[in-house]
């Protein structure tokens, strides 16, 4: 049975993951509007992954005999200065989420909840990847300086994400 402190923190994390999905969907909509379909596709897949992260937590709470309570999801921003601004913000957001996951690990440790701590290791690894992916795109955008040829190529590359 999951302890109430841990249950509450995971419920908050479900909200944070849903917000991440909402944020990336909004970024995808921004790229659609900018006529960058490959960037939009990449972000839409990112949003889908976040909703899956939320569902993984959701199912875990039930598996442990807990209760899921859903709260309102904040509205994400809808405007950015440029594609690089979008990805710098996505990277910053992932760093913040990594901090939240690490706080959850610390809480499960202090609550001696080994099952939750073990379950969270998947997210610890996932965050390493999430940060690296967003940062890699920031670096590519810096290199091409958003030149039209470079943007065309990168849009095609990001559109190939499966």
The residues that touch ligand OFO, with contacts defined as CB under 6 A, are: 17, 20, 50, 53, 94, 97, 126, 130
- Contact between 23 and 76 (Cβ < 8 Å): yes
CB-based contacts of 22: which residues, under 8 Å, 6+ apart?
Answer: 47, 73, 74, 75, 76
Which CB sits closer to ligand OFO, 2 or 43? 43
Minimum CB separation of residue 50 from ligand OFO in Å reads: 5
Minimum CB separation of residue 53 from ligand OFO in Å reads: 4
Which CB sits closer to ligand OFO, 7 or 131? 131
Nearest residue to ligand OFO by CB is 20
Which CB sits closer to ligand OFO, 96 or 156? 96
Minimum CB separation of residue 145 from ligand OFO in Å reads: 27
Which CB sits closer to ligand OFO, 17 or 155? 17
User: From CA 96, how far away is CA 102, in angstroms rounded?
Assistant: 10
User: From CA 68, how far away is CA 50, in angstroms rounded?
Assistant: 17
User: From CA 1, how far away is CA 151, in angstroms rounded?
Assistant: 51
Minimum CB separation of residue 23 from ligand OFO in Å reads: 8
Length, in residues, of the chain: 162
Q: What φ, ψ does residue 36 adopt, rounded to 5°?
A: -125, 75
């Amino acid at each position: 049975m999951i302890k109430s402190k841990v249950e509450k923190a995971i419920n908050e994390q479900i909200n944070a993951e849903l917000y991440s999905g909402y944020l990336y969907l909004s970024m995808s909509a921004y790229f659609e509007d900018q006529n960058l379909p490959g960037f939009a596709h990449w972000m839409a897949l990112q949003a889908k992954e976040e909703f899956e992260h939320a569902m993984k937590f959701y199912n875990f709470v039930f598996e442990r005999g807990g209760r899921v309570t859903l709260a309102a999801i904040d509205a994400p921003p809808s405007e950015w200065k440029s594609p690089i601004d979008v990805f710098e913000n996505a990277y910053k957001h992932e760093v913040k989420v990594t901090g939240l996951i690490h706080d959850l690990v610390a809480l499960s440790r202090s609550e001696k909840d080994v099952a939750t701590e073990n379950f969270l290791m998947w997210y610890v690894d996932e965050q390493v990847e999430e940060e690296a992916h967003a940062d890699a795109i920031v670096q590519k955008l810096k290199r091409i300086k958003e030149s039209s040829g470079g943007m065309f190529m990168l849009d095609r590359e990001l559109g190939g994400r499966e």
